[in-house]
């Protein structure tokens, strides 16, 4: 069952020839780079110090225990609803579980809601809530575990769980069926339960790939928290610039970007024609996914470290210093890959959720409503795909430039960015070519 074939556009759907789109993308990057070099010579982004405080009444509500518990209970109820369908619903094309996992949750909650409102999954995460409740009952501090979470681990476990999830989404056999989804999430929950018992709630920050993803995307929200903990509205650029580098951060962004690249590759007819003749789809898919993540890792780490030859900053810290510039690029690819899927399968899944057990119920009164295709016309989708990818890279160039003029002496700052600019052009051309595979 491949209900989740992504509705990617074709080259013929673009309003301009594909080669023009590629040339335009490269010109946009080079022009931004030159303009930044001329006009943006001092660091302007202040990251975690930026932002205008929310009205105090609103901030008090958002920070109140009542509001926090409302979110936690909403997270528990929604999870329970889906769990009912996953455990007791029929395993057919009308079961909402796969659509919830791959579209409403993976795209809707972790990306769309996070970009709008900030790191929402941290606030909703039912496993975090259960852990909190259990520690309350046992009268222990939720932060306490048997062991201290090793700071050197940072986000590395989250990068691993994210890689495991994208493998499920893009490679695993029968990945839209209930037994496969149940098994994956059973293992995930077991890892989270054991980890949080051993290391306390800190485990969720470091090891829950879904929280890490939501938190990264949440950096682009206009709502944010300043370094002094005050709730503010701020520019997404400052939100991203406030991302604190740490162990594993680069690994997380590399996995996100590499997996979207494999998503494009695995849909291209030439890849399918080359791999399916071996009859080993799991093996070739796993190698393809790991290969794309490895290509992104080598080019990204290589380019940032090359920049370090020019400055005084220790080279090994540089991939982390520039990781925030990859986040808008990853968002651009998410929009390009998932937009039409989100609109179409998102509507279908909401209808299916109205009848979670396949009993003919219609709890939300959605059954009569058809699926609207008004916002997924081919020309609109194809144009949006190109615009999203190019905008993501231009924002990436801006963020990388600001960080470079902060870290390096001015003259070296521009030269130092050249490897990263070359890599971003390579990603743009590669990403668009895979997306619009002939």
**DSSP string covering 257-303, please?**
HHHHHHHHHHHSHHHHHHHGGGT-HHHHHHHHHHHHHHHHHHHHHHH
Taking the complex as a whole, the smallest distance from the CB of residue 282 to other proteins amounts, in Å, to 12
Taking the complex as a whole, the smallest distance from the CB of residue 383 to other proteins amounts, in Å, to 14
Q: How far apart are the first and last CA of the chain?
A: 24
Q: Which residues pair with 233 in a beta bridge?
A: 52, 223
Query: Per CB under 8 A, which region of 1-9, 35-43, 102-110, 152-160 contacts other proteins?
Result: 1-9
Residues 376-435 close enough to bind other proteins by CB under 8 A: 376-378
> How far apart, in Å, are the Cα atoms of 398 and each of 30, 71, 125, 241, 332?
11, 35, 33, 11, 15
Residues 209-268 close enough to bind other proteins by CB under 8 A: 267
Residues 281-340 close enough to bind other proteins by CB under 8 A: 281, 340
Q: Which two tokens stand for residue 438?
A: 């002939």
Q: What long-range pairs does 87-90 form, CB within 8 A, spacing at least 24?
A: 87/182, 88/357, 89/178, 89/356, 89/357, 89/358, 90/357, 90/358
Residues 7-66 close enough to bind other proteins by CB under 8 A: 7-8, 10, 12-13
* 263 vs 133: CA distance, rounded Å: 38
Residues 137-166 close enough to bind other proteins by CB under 8 A: none
Q: Tell me whether residue 12 or residue 64 sits nearer to other proteins (CB atom).
A: 12
Q: Tell me whether residue 11 or residue 406 sits nearer to other proteins (CB atom).
A: 11
Selection from 171, 318, 345 nearest residue 259 by Cα:
171
The residue count for binding other proteins (CB under 8 A) is 26
Q: Tell me whether residue 121 or residue 339 sits nearer to other proteins (CB atom).
A: 339
Q: Which two tokens stand for residue 38?
A: 């001329």
Taking the complex as a whole, the smallest distance from the CB of residue 267 to other proteins amounts, in Å, to 8
3-state secondary structure of 52: strand
Site string for other proteins, 63-92 (x = CB under 8 A): ------------------------------
Q: Tell me whether residue 58 or residue 93 sits nearer to other proteins (CB atom).
A: 93
Selection from 122, 29, 121 nearest residue 332 by Cα:
29
Taking the complex as a whole, the smallest distance from the CB of residue 371 to other proteins amounts, in Å, to 9
Taking the complex as a whole, the smallest distance from the CB of residue 279 to other proteins amounts, in Å, to 5
Taking the complex as a whole, the smallest distance from the CB of residue 329 to other proteins amounts, in Å, to 24
Residues 356-375 close enough to bind other proteins by CB under 8 A: 373
> How far apart, in Å, are the Cα atoms of 340 and each of 51, 67, 238?
33, 33, 29
Q: Which two tokens stand for residue 149?
A: 């979470």
Q: Tell me whether residue 36 or residue 437 sits nearer to other proteins (CB atom).
A: 437
Q: Tell me whether residue 296 or residue 334 sits nearer to other proteins (CB atom).
A: 334
* CA dihedral of 427, 433, 436, 438, whole degrees rounded to 10: -160
Taking the complex as a whole, the smallest distance from the CB of residue 346 to other proteins amounts, in Å, to 15
Taking the complex as a whole, the smallest distance from the CB of residue 104 to other proteins amounts, in Å, to 20
* 106 vs 103: CA distance, rounded Å: 5
Residues 260-289 close enough to bind other proteins by CB under 8 A: 267, 269-270, 272-273, 276-279, 281
Q: Tell me whether residue 137 or residue 278 sits nearer to other proteins (CB atom).
A: 278
Query: Per CB under 8 A, which region of 6-14, 246-254, 312-320, 355-363 contacts other proteins?
Result: 6-14
Taking the complex as a whole, the smallest distance from the CB of residue 11 to other proteins amounts, in Å, to 9
* 219 vs 243: CA distance, rounded Å: 7
CA 214 to chain CA mean position, Å: 7
Q: Tell me whether residue 253 or residue 345 sits nearer to other proteins (CB atom).
A: 345
Taking the complex as a whole, the smallest distance from the CB of residue 432 to other proteins amounts, in Å, to 16
Residue with tokens 């046992």: 138
Among the listed residues 138, 147, 374, 438, the single contact to other proteins using CB under 8 A? 438
* 47 vs 58: CA distance, rounded Å: 23
- Residues lying near other proteins in the complex (CB under 8 A): 2, 5-8, 10, 12-13, 267, 269-270, 272-273, 276-279, 281, 340, 344, 373, 376-378, 437-438
């Amino acid at each position: 069952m491949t209900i989740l074939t992504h509705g990617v556009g074709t080259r013929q759907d673009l309003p301009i020839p594909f080669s023009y789109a590629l040339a335009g993308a490269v010109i946009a990057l080079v022009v931004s780079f030159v303009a930044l070099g001329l006009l943006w010579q001092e660091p302007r982004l202040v990251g975690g110090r930026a932002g205008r405080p929310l009205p105090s009444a609103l901030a008090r509500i958002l920070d109140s225990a009542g509001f926090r518990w409302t979110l936690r209970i909403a997270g528990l109820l929604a999870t329970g609803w889906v769990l009912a369908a996953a455990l007791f619903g029929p395993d057919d094309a009308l079961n909402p579980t796969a659509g919830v996992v791959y579209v409403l949750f993976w795209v809707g909650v972790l990306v769309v809601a996070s970009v709008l409102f900030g790191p929402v999954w941290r606030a909703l995460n039912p496993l975090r809530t259960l852990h909190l409740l259990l520690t309350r009952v046992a009268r222990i501090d939720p932060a306490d575990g048997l062991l201290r979470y090793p700071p050197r681990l940072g986000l590395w476990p989250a990068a691993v769980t994210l890689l495991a999830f994208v493998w499920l989404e893009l490679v695993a056999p029968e990945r839209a069926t209930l037994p496969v989804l149940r098994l994956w999430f059973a293992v995930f929950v077991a890892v989270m339960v054991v980890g949080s018992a051993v290391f306390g709630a800190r485990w969720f920050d470091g090891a829950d790939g879904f929280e890490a993803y939501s938190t990264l995307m949440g950096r682009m929200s206009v709502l944010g928290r300043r370094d002094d903990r005050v709730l503010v509205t701020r520019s997404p650029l400052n939100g991203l610039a406030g991302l604190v580098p740490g162990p594993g951060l680069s690994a997380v962004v590399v996995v996100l970007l590499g997996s979207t690249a494999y998503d494009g590759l695995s849909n291209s007819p030439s890849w399918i024609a080359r791999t399916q003749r071996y009859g080993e789809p799991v093996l070739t898919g796993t190698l393809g996914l790991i290969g794309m993540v490895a290509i992104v890792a080598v080019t990204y780490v290589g380019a940032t470290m090359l920049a370090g030859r020019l400055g005084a900053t220790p080279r090994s810290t540089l991939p982390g210093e520039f990781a925030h510039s990859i986040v808008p690029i990853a968002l651009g690819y998410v929009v390009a890959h998932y937009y039409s899927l989100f609109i179409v399968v998102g509507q279908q899944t909401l209808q299916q959720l109205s009848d979670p057990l396949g009993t003919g119920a219609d709890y939300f009164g959605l059954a009569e409503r058809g699926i609207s295709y008004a916002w997924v016309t081919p020309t609109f989708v194809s144009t949006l795909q190109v615009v999203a990818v190019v905008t993501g890279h231009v924002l990436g160039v801006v963020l990388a430039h600001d960080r470079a003029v902060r870290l390096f002496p001015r003259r070296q700052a521009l030269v130092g960015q050249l490897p990263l600019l070359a890599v971003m052009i390579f990603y743009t051309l590669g990403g668009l070519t895979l997306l619009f595979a002939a």
